[in-house]
Amino acid sequence: MRGKEIQPDCWKYQLPGGFEAWAGKTDRDNDILSLSTARPEEYWFHVHGLPGSHVILRAPDGEKPDNALIRQTAAIAAWHSKARNAGNVPVKYTEAKHVGKPRGAKPGSVTIKREKTIKVRPGLPD
């Protein structure tokens, strides 16, 4: 299948301003989403310290998300994790260009740099 980009299997959520949040369904989908699909300037999210989906915040060309969109996307990442039924959950986020994969790491395992942490309640958009 050379020349055809493999698409990850994702949950997709429409957010205000034309933004979308994409959440991977499996470890393999998380790898494809985080390392191939995400554009360098897009934001990447994952619940801190627990298994869960990698979530990408897709932006209309040139748009930057505001704090409300960051919080909403972090809540989606928390929802698609083992912390779904918890109260406030720490979620790490960074630009996708700061997400990498160590050689030989298992699917779904990544390293991140320049991350920030935000605490949110798990939830999905209305």
Residue-wise pLDDT for 9-39, tens only, equals 999 999 999 999 999 999 999 999 999 999 9
Contact of 93 with 74, CB cutoff 8 Å: yes
Q: Which residue has the tokens 């979530």?
A: 55
Q: Domain range for residue 81? A: 10-120
- Is position 107 within any domain? yes
- Is position 4 within any domain? no
Question: What tokens appear for 15 in the block?
Answer: 């957010």
- Is position 126 within any domain? no
Domain count, the chain: 1
pLDDT in tens, 32-80: 999 999 999 999 999 999 999 999 999 998 789 999 999 999 999 999 9
The overall pTM is greater than 0.75:
yes
3 state SS for 80-123: CECCCCCCCEEEEEEEHHHEECCCCCCCCCCEECCCEEEEECCC
